[in-house]
Structure 1
């Protein structure tokens, strides 16, 4: 019997590793967060941890299990696991992404150091070592600027600084740890998602955001919609993503999620890239639109199993993520009431639970995959489902808060 170690920071319903590997002769040994443990409890080898992201017993246990089961590979799809999985592979001499590659896809400064001066435009940036760095950068480049942690995902901790008063407020707040500062890039944001297997890009497609990835800040929804091949930006974005992958130490097997701006003066500017599948409902949307499960295909590539990717299939579909409001959730819409364009739904909270608004762009209260006859039809349906959800959910103020946002 062959074994693979899986860092599983996702619910079993989203990543049923045992079902994906059924019949392959490969058994998953799972390390997961306590909140997902029940979903994997039917498996023979499951180890769950509180405080999963920062609990270093995760690493200790993973090393012990990898040695005990002589695992052939290590799989990790969550941002929090990218570096810890890479270090484990390197320690054990296992194939896959090692530490230098993981840091290039995880640390935004290391990432841009690889790309600066290359074929894709990168905004001016600097490692933010202290307040002096921020002041020096602003003196050189002016406002607005963006300050964000070097290793977070989903726009978590990102701050747009438009003037000196906002910079003063940022500097007066508690130190956020290692961050970068870069010039603010205006424009529409797009993302390109895909899969590398055997060192080749076997799937790649660009998408546009409806609203944007900072919409969660105002507790507003964000959606993702594929571009048609006829869209004039399609080839530009695909070419840019391939160029970025070529400049970085890209592992031979990985999913990727890249983000770019198209500025008002039509420049294509790099934002960031991750060596993982996109957050929110992106993977589910890709599955419905293209018939490709990126997480499953990535797992197969890591395990040396045959690919089932077929790039010929396409039907219009989009993804919608709705963040929670501030308050206690009293009512969720029921599936029986939902519009006929909904193909998949996911809830991450329950009635009676208290929320404090949006936290990051990839986290949501309700997620939907929506289809339609065309991309324009899907865009309209995404707006319709967002309105329907708002009209059919109910909130009340929490006792500890003054009201609902």
Structure 2
């Protein structure tokens, strides 16, 4: 029996590794977070941890299991696992992404150091090691600027600083550790997602954001919509993503999620790239729009299994993520009552829970995949579903009736 070690920071319904590997002769050995353990409980080898992202017993257990089962591959699809999986592969001499590559896709400064001066425009940037660095950068480049952690996902911790007062407010807060400051780039944000297998880009497609990936800060929804091949930005974005992958130490097998702006003066500017599938409902949208499960295909590539990719057949579909509000959720829309354009639903909360607004763009209370006859239909349907959800959801203040839920 062959084994693969899987860092599984996702619910089983999203990543049923045993089903994907059925008939292959490969058994997944699962390392997961406590909140997802029940979904994987039917599998023979499952190890769950509290405080999964920072608990270093995850690494200790993964190393023990990898040796015990003589695993042939290590698979990790979550941002928190990219570096720990790479370090484990390197330690054991296993194929796949190693540490230098993982850091280039995870540390935003290392990433831009690889790309600066290359074929894709990169905004001015600098690593912040103290307040002096930020002040010096602002003096050189002016406002607005963006300050963000070098290695978080989903726009977590990102702050747009527009003037001196906002900079003072930022500096008055606790030191956030290693961060990056960069010049603010105005414009429409796009993302390009795809799959590298055998060292070749075997799938790539650009998408645009409706709202944007910082909408969660205002507890507002964010949506993703594939660009049609005839869209004037389509080829530019695909070319830019390929150029970025060529400049970086891209592993021979990886999914990727990259982001770019197109500015009001029509410049295409790099934002960031990750060596994983996109968060939120992006993987589900790709599955509905193209008939491709990027996570499954990536797992097959890591395990040396034949691809089932085939020729993607495109049909219009979009993804919608709705963050929670501040307060206690009293009522969610009735299951089965969704508008007819909804193809998939994922709810991450329940009535009675207390929430504190949006935390990051990839985390959501309600996720939907929506279809339509054209891209314009899908965009309108995304707006419609967001309105329907709002109309059929009830909240109350957390301190109402004397206590938390």
TM-score in terms of structure 2 length:
0.98
Residue 353 (structure 2) aligns with = 353
Match of residue 293 from structure 1 = 293
Residue 167 of structure 1 corresponds to which residue in structure 2?
A: 167
Equivalent residue number for residue 317 of structure 2: 317
- Deviations 1:137-189 (Å, cap 9, x if unpaired)? 01100000000000000000000001111111111100011000000000000
Give the Cα separation in 2 of the matches to 1:209 and 1:152: 20
- Quick check: 2:331–2:393 contact (8 Å CA) kept in 1? yes
Distance 1:353 1:393 in 2: 13
Matched residues in 1 for 2:345 and 2:38: separation? 20
- Measured in 1, the distance between the counterparts of 2:37 and 2:303 equals 23
Alpha-carbon distance, 1:308 to partner: 0.8
CA contact (8 A) 1:291 1:310 kept: no
45-54 vs 391-400, which moves further: 391-400
Aligned-partner SS, 1:238:
helix
| Equivalent residues of 1:195, 1:298 under 8 A apart | yes
Give distance in 2, aligned partners of 1:140 and 1:245: 30
How many Å apart are 1:337 and its aligned residue? 1.5
Aligned-pair CA distance for 1:401: 11
CA RMSD of aligned residues (A): 1.2
The equivalent of 2:197 in structure 1 is: 197
Change (3 A) 1:14 1:314: same
2:326 corresponding residue in structure 1? 326
2:148 maps to 1:148: yes
* Count of aligned pairs between the two proteins: 403
Displacement, 1:310?
2.4
- 1:12 maps to what in 2? 12
Counterpart in the other structure of 1:54: 54
Q: Which residue of 1 aligns with 2:363?
A: 363
Q: Secondary structure at the match of 1:308?
A: coil
Shift of 1:311: 3.3
Q: In 2, are the aligned partners of 1:327 and 1:401 still within 8 Å (CA)?
A: no
SS at the partner of 2:336?
Answer: helix
What CA distance in whole angstroms lies between the structure 2 residues aligned with 1:201 and 1:401? Answer: 56
Which deviates further from its counterpart, 261-270 or 162-171? 162-171
Give the Cα separation in 2 of the matches to 1:308 and 1:400.
Answer: 53
Distance 1:329 1:370 in 2: 24
In structure 2, the partner of 1:389 is: 389
CA deviation map 1:258-313 (0-9, x unaligned): 00000000000000000000000000000000000000000000000000112330
Ranges of 4+ aligned residues in structure 1 off by more than 6 Å = none
**Alignment match, 2:267:** 267
In 1, distance between residues paired with 2:181 and 2:96?
31
In the other structure, the counterpart of 2:69 is 69
Structure 2 CA distance for aligned equivalents of residues 169 and 328 of structure 1: 29
* Distance in 1, Cα, partners of 2:294 & 2:394: 35
The answer as to whether partners of 1:370 and 1:382 remain within 8 angstroms in 2 is: yes
Quote the Cα distance in structure 2 between the aligned partners of 1:239 and 1:139: 34
Q: Give the 3 Å change call, closer, same or farther, for CA 235–302 of structure 1 in structure 2.
A: same
Deviation at 1:400, TM superposition (A): 7.8
1:55, 1:400 → 2: CA distance? Answer: 36
- Where does the alignment leave 5 or more consecutive residues of structure 1 unmatched? none
DSSP 3-state at the match of 2:117: coil
Structure 2, gaps ≥5 residues long? none
